[in-house]
Structure 1
Amino acid sequence: NFGQLADYQILSTVYNITRDTIAGKILIAKQFHLTADEQMSFAYQMGAAALLLYPDPEHYNSPNLKVKPFPDSPYMPADAVRHDSLIWNGLGDPQTPGYPATSYAHRLPLQSLNLPKYCSQLI
């Protein structure tokens, strides 16, 4: 389960799980194929209250593999942590995109920000 649209289609067709069944629930998915905001968007469309994301262990460098991590292989280091964002505004504080959020910085009004309306947490 990577939280892809296809995963929700399988829940619907194979297990007869509908949007009404998912509404208000907290979902969990592996994080790999999609960005966190794409996964959360699908969960939100299905009515989920929140989404917990965890890294797919198959894409980390297991000590048993004895393989060098990226860039020498496609595997992440065993101690690596993904840090995706649900906000695509550039870098930094959404009220001061591209600039430090100092006490004297001009801030965009909260109403103009396109902030997520849902909760997501990497675990």
Structure 2
Amino acid sequence: MCAGCEQGGGGREPVLLAEVLASTAIELGSAARQLRAVPDPRGSGGTSCKRCGASAEWHRTVRGKWILIEPGERAVGSVPAGKRWRIAGDGTAVNLGSAIPADTCRISHFDLCPARSTSSAAVA
């Protein structure tokens, strides 16, 4: 308990930290199960781009959104910072931001799609 709760001067009933942590763990576990239970709205695994027809794979991001990732790995030097992705063991797509992985990374199909608008910056 915090010092204020121990002294009883806070005007509240003391709350044990173990009780707070236990209820929080239960709520977080329930939320995680619900997130895993949401099916992939785009089908499972590989698909093709509706614009250009190229093969790609849908992956959920760490923020719960979906991104179409190009198949295969690319040399880090060929992918600009901020466009580099890793696929975690559970299939989650993780944007590496400006981090420079040692060898290879993945890239979003949206950054390479030949059918994207011509105003978009090209990625080599």
* TM-score (ref. length: structure 2): 0.19
More strand by share: 2
Higher relative contact order structure (alpha carbons within 8 Å, sequence separation ≥ 6): 1
